Amino acid sequence: MQNLISGVKNILSYKRKARIDNAVFTLHKVTAGVLLLLSIIVSSGIYIAKPITCISDQTIDRVIDAYCWIHATYTLPNRTNPSLNEIEVAHPGVAPHVPEDEIRIHKYYQWVCFVLFFQAIAFFLPRAIWKRLERGRIYTLSSIGLEEITKNDDALSKRRKQCVDYFFQCLGTNDSWALTYAICEVFNFINVVIQIDLTDRFVGRALSKYGLSLMQFSSQNPMMRSDPMAAAFPTVTKCMFHMVGPTGNLVKFDSLCVLPLNIYNEKFYPLLWLVNLLI
């Protein structure tokens, strides 16, 4: 864990060196580091604490926990506000299920750490490609690079003259190099657009309206409002487990499940929503 945190720290660290890109690449680098850190936090939550706990017959608790974690849980979106329903609600979205109720399946939570990790790679990739193709040329030609390569004043002056001559000789001949940089810039833009849409799809189209829903939630009457966090990232859900009983009959276990990991998700994704809004 300490090595992983140190790796994130190295990504986010700043060292005095020649700039080979612009602020957009820097923001992508910071975003990659933040996403990687979030992935580590969620992953540690899975392995350190129990990611799901379901209430059921004690003899098969572990089986139901594993089943509901693998095969997803669900809530009832029209039961998130107890004050607006005639049916008694145990928790927002958790109530007796009638046929006309809409069911919202929640199965993203087991993939959050992996999605955040691959998103971090996607944000870091354009800069890594450009850094690979650039091959330290800008650093070598910069004043910082010259000072580190040659400490002698005479050698430094000679080196600077060689750089000036190089600029004049290669003027207008680096079109392919500039085109590579432009392509990486386009990749940055495409990546942001794709990441916004994929993240919204991943959480069931809850991200695009999530921030606005939180603002409305804070301004509404406490007795008449529906918690958007309970709808998008519920900490209490339902899970139906079927098994064959001792006599061969089908036995149904209607379990109530607690998802501690969604405490992290309901904090992370508003941050991502804010970043998307600023972009």
Most confidently modeled range among 5-9, 59-63, 83-87, 184-188: 184-188
pLDDT at 4 over 60: no
On whether the CB atoms of residues 238 and 75 are closer than 8 A, the answer is yes
Supply the pLDDT for residue 217.
Answer: 61
List pLDDT tens digits, range 81-129.
655 555 677 788 888 877 778 888 888 888 888 999 999 999 999 988 9
Burial class (CB in 10 A: 0-12, 13-18, 19+), 151: exposed
Q: Which two three-digit tokens encode residue 112? A: 């959050």
Q: What is the DSSP letter of 83?
A: G
Mean pLDDT of 199-225: 64
Choose between 64 and 83: higher pLDDT. 64
| Residue type (1 letter), 54 | C
More confident residue, 201 or 146: 201
**What is the average pLDDT value for the chain, to the nearest integer?**
76
CA dist 123 and 113 (Å) reads 16
Model-level pTM?
0.76
| pLDDT at 185 (0 to 100) | 92
pLDDT at 224: 45
Three-class SS state of 104:
strand
Say what the pLDDT of residue 223 is.
45
Q: What would the mean pLDDT of 217-242 be, rounded to a whole number?
A: 70
Question: Distance (Å, rounded) from C-alpha 206 to C-alpha 200?
Answer: 6
Do 234 and 106 touch, CB atoms closer than 8 A? yes
Query: Is residue 276 predicted with pLDDT exceeding 50?
Result: yes
What does the pLDDT read at residue 222? 45
Residues 156, 159, 161: CA angle, nearest 5 degrees: 115
Q: Give CA 229 to chain center in angstroms.
A: 17
Map out the domains of the chain as residue ranges: 2-278
Structure tokens at 44: 């540690």
Residue 251: pLDDT band by 50, 70, 90 thresholds? confident
**Higher-confidence position of 182 and 19:** 182
Residues 75 and 100: beta-carbon distance below 8 Å: no
Average pLDDT on 211-220 reads: 61
What pLDDT was estimated at residue 48? 76
